[in-house]
């Protein structure tokens, strides 16, 4: 891989080292449709030639002059075909989340000056149609699915003997590694979307160092399941790690079918975000709660054992014996539900609960937490496969080949070929973020054992109480979420006398508790107002507060009846809290926390 310079070289790399029958695969009409490496090469080259025929060009390989092609789609082989085909013309791909709201969609398409747009479905085409007249640069939209009135993407592909295919080869050879491959717009939790410019060199180097450090060995017999949005740099970089590791990529049909797809293809690994791991664990615990008698006792005994698991310190012969029994009667069923072959799960995008990491790893399901922002392509650090190179609660060791330092205030800074070219059309923001080659991430961290990086908070999310004491909300929230009765939580309290919280209960657990106590459950809205429920959560918070220092303790809270989501606007696409949105949306509940104080 080291000799490859551009992302699209992944196809030639596979052809030279191990052509596959299933380089990419997706469900079509109920069957897995597989694309071989040879087929992918043919499709992508014909696609690139078709784009050239449409007038798409990299021009002089400058970000200002190269054409911009946008894609808004679910994960599928056509997504990767488009990415590779656009790269081979020297144009720049602008990927968008399918959940992007129309206002942001309009801003991004105009800001980037997008020439052509590829959408996956009628649903997304309907969203796009509402703003088409406002995008002056846009010449045409193509769809992957058959959509009435929209030209299909396959019409772009030229015949296999088209003379333009020779021109594609010529352009491919001339694309420089410092050329921008993609502009990824990220708004984080607030603000106008910013276009992060990432070059071939940026992403290639991050993929190479990740492959080397983790490590990912070449594994032609391996398969992964892909379901995190491909327009996010985490899944995109992982895609190239897989392609250069000759690992087959199978695309989940949807978020709802992940469980079924895991059992079908029996993957060796996948990437995820903590929120999805939490959902998996909630489902496991819900199933366990329905057991009775000895089976129920054994289930919860096994979970309590796994909570004490430490990969670096042996629990001794008695603990190990108990764990082997728990494995035979409980944990092997968990692994079977994931397909039975999972040897790695890499999680990123937000902090993962340490308790979950212990339980999953103790159950023989290896979960490795990593970290990095879009601006670094993205991986900065990751826990490793090798013994002694993983520590729960940290985001692992920095990638070999990157320079990492902590600023005086603890901000994590990184330097290397992985650091973005800058923000598109925003030299002011670039100058604030990249100083003397160092990317200032905005994340606060500490070193543990001199080598493991632990994220303690976002620099902008630290707040002061009215008493002048600083509070870091994320560690408080993560500890609180370890309680099975708390689904979601956001700590509040800037310039207030004390720390408060908005809490979304785990309604599955709450219903079961209410049934056990003989309390009728009518609706979420009614349940959060019941004195018995409020008292229950008071006791939960009192117990959790013993783990915090005085200023961090949650003194009052409000229970909310609805889960926060991307669709309702409180969560980012990578399932982080949009704090300002939540603060505004629930300002009345927050005021209630602080009334009469």
Boundary of a domain, candidates 166, 199, 232: 199
In a domain, residue 180? The reply is: yes
Are the CB atoms for 486 and 494 separated by under 8 Å?
A: no
The pLDDT value recorded for residue 495 is 82
The pLDDT value recorded for residue 457 is 80
pLDDT at 207 exceeding the cut of 60: yes
DSSP state of 159: P
Query: Residue range 268-279: average pLDDT?
Result: 92
* Dihedral sign from CA coordinates of 239, 245, 251, 257: negative
In a domain, residue 25? The reply is: yes
In a domain, residue 588? The reply is: yes
Are the CB atoms for 326 and 301 separated by under 8 Å?
A: yes
pLDDT above 70 as % of the chain: 99
Query: Residue range 197-212: average pLDDT?
Result: 98
**Least confident span in 81-90, 162-171, 277-286, 322-331:** 277-286
pLDDT tens by residue, 527-565 = 999 999 999 999 999 999 999 888 899 999 999 999 999
Assigned token pair, 224: 């992964």
Query: Residue range 259-273: average pLDDT?
Result: 96
Boundary of a domain, candidates 148, 167, 199: 199
Please report, in angstroms and rounded to a whole number, the separation of the first and last CA atoms in the chain. 62
Q: How many domains are contained in the chain?
A: 2
pLDDT at 464 exceeding the cut of 80: no
DSSP per-residue letters across 281-313 = HHHHHHHHHT--HHHHHHHHHHHHHHHT--SSS
The pLDDT value recorded for residue 467 is 77
pLDDT at 413 exceeding the cut of 90: yes
**Least confident span in 24-33, 186-195, 315-324, 369-378:** 186-195
The pLDDT value recorded for residue 106 is 94
The pLDDT value recorded for residue 582 is 93
Query: Residue range 318-345: average pLDDT?
Result: 97
Q: CATH number of the domain at 134, please.
A: 3.40.50.12780
Domain containing residue 519: 462-594
pLDDT tens by residue, 338-384 = 999 999 999 998 888 899 999 999 999 999 999 999 999 999 999 99
Q: Which of 115, 80, 96 is nearest to 7 (CA)?
A: 80
In a domain, residue 467? The reply is: yes
In a domain, residue 179? The reply is: yes
Q: CATH number of the domain at 557, please.
A: 3.30.300.30
Query: Residue range 457-483: average pLDDT?
Result: 83
The pLDDT value recorded for residue 189 is 46
Are the CB atoms for 175 and 189 separated by under 8 Å?
A: no
Adjacent-strand bridge partners of 92? 68
In a domain, residue 526? The reply is: yes
Boundary of a domain, candidates 129, 164, 199: 199
pLDDT band at 597 (very low <50, low <70, confident <90, very high): low
pLDDT tens by residue, 161-200 = 999 999 999 999 999 999 999 999 987 544 688 999 999 9
In a domain, residue 277? The reply is: no
In a domain, residue 545? The reply is: yes
């Amino acid at each position: 891989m080291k000799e490859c310079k551009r992302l699209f070289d992944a196809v030639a790399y596979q052809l030279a080292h191990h052509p596959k029958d299933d380089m990419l695969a997706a469900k079509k009409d109920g069957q897995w449709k597989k694309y071989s490496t040879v087929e992918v090469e043919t499709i992508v080259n014909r696609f690139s030639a078709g784009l050239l025929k449409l007038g798409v060009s990299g021009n002089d390989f400058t970000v200002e002059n190269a054409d911009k092609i946008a894609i808004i789609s679910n994960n599928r082989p056509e997504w990767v075909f488009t990415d590779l085909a656009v790269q081979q013309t020297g144009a720049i791909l602008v990927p968008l989340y399918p959940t992007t709201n129309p206002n942001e969609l309009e801003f991004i398409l105009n800001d980037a000056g997008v020439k052509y747009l590829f959408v996956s479905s009628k649903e997304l085409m309907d969203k796009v149609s509402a703003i088409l007249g406002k995008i002056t640069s846009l010449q045409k939209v193509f769809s992957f699915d058959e959509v009435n009135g929209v030209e299909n993407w396959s019409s772009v592909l030229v015949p296999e003997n088209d003379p333009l295919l020779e021109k594609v080869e010529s352009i491919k050879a001339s694309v420089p590694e410092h050329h921008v491959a993609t502009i990824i717009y990220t708004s984080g939790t607030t603000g106008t979307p910013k276009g992060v410019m990432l070059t071939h060199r940026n992403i290639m180097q991050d993929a190479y160092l990740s492959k080397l450090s983790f490590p990912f060995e070449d594994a032609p017999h391996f398969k992964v399941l892909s379901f995190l949005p491909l327009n996010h740099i985490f899944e995109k970089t992982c895609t190239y790690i897989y392609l250069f590791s000759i690992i087959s990529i199978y695309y989940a049909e949807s978020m709802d079918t992940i469980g079924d797809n895991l059992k079908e293809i029996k993957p060796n690994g996948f990437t995820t975000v903590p929120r999805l791991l939490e959902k998996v664990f909630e489902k496991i615990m819900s199933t366990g709660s329905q057991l009775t008698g000895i089976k129920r006792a054994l289930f919860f005994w096994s979970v309590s054992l796994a909570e004490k698991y430490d990969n670096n310190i042996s629990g001794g012969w008695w603990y190990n014996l108990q764990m082997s029994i728990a494995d035979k009667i409980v944990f092997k069923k968990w692994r079977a539900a994931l397909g039975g072959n999972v040897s790695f799960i890499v999680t990123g995008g937000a902090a993962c609960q340490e308790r979950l990491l212990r339980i999953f790893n103790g159950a023989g399901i290896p979960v490795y937490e990593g970290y990095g922002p879009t601006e670094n392509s993205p991986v900065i650090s990751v826990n490793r496969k090798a013994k002694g190179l993983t520590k729960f609660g940290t985001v692992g060791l920095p990638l070999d080949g990157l320079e990492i330092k902590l600023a005086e205030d603890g901000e994590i800074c990184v330097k290397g070929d992985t650091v973005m070219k800058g923000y598109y059309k925003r030299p002011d923001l670039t100058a604030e973020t990249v100083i003397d080659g160092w990317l200032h991430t905005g994340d606060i961290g500490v070193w543990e054992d001199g080598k493991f990086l632990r994220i303690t908070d976002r620099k902008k999310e630290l707040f002061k109480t009215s008493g002048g004491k600083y509070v870091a909300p994320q560690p408080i929230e993560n500890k609180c979420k370890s309680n099975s009765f708390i689904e979601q939580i956001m700590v509040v309290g800037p310039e207030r006398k004390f720390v408060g919280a908005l809490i979304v209960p785990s309604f599955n657990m709450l219903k079961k508790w209410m049934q056990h106590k003989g309390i009728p459950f009518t609706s979420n809205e009614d349940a959060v107002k019941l004195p018995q429920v409020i008292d229950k959560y008071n006791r939960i918070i009192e117990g959790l507060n013993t783990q915090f220092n005085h200023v961090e303790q949650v003194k009052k809270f409000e229970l909310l009846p609805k889960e926060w989501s991307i669709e309702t606007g409180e969560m980012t696409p990578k399932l982080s809290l949009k704090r300002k949105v939540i603060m505004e949306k629930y300002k009345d509940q927050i005021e209630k926390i602080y009334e009469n104080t």
